[in-house]
Amino acid sequence: MEHLIDLSNTLQERGVDLIVLDQGIDTSTAIGRMFFQILGSIAEFEHALMSERTRDGLSAARARG
């Protein structure tokens, strides 16, 4: 998520808007910036969830021997 926020800030500082037509993202609008950040948060959540599941699976396998 940090990388996504950094990218968004860098683009904004340089006066560049990100428009992704097939995803409905347009960072020139408040709703577009919010949507962009929500997508980043969801991606971060999915990554954390996968990590937790992997860790839990390894723990269960160790417990079974």
Would you list the domain boundaries of the chain?
2-64
What are the structure tokens assigned to 59, written together?
Answer: 């723990």
What is the pTM assigned to this prediction? Answer: 0.65
Neighbours of 36 (CB within 10 A): 21
- pLDDT for residue 1: 61
- CA 24 distance to own-chain centroid: 16
Residue 3 has pLDDT above 80, yes or no: no
Please write the tens of the pLDDT for every residue from 14-60.
Answer: 999 988 888 788 889 999 889 888 888 898 899 999 999 999 999 99
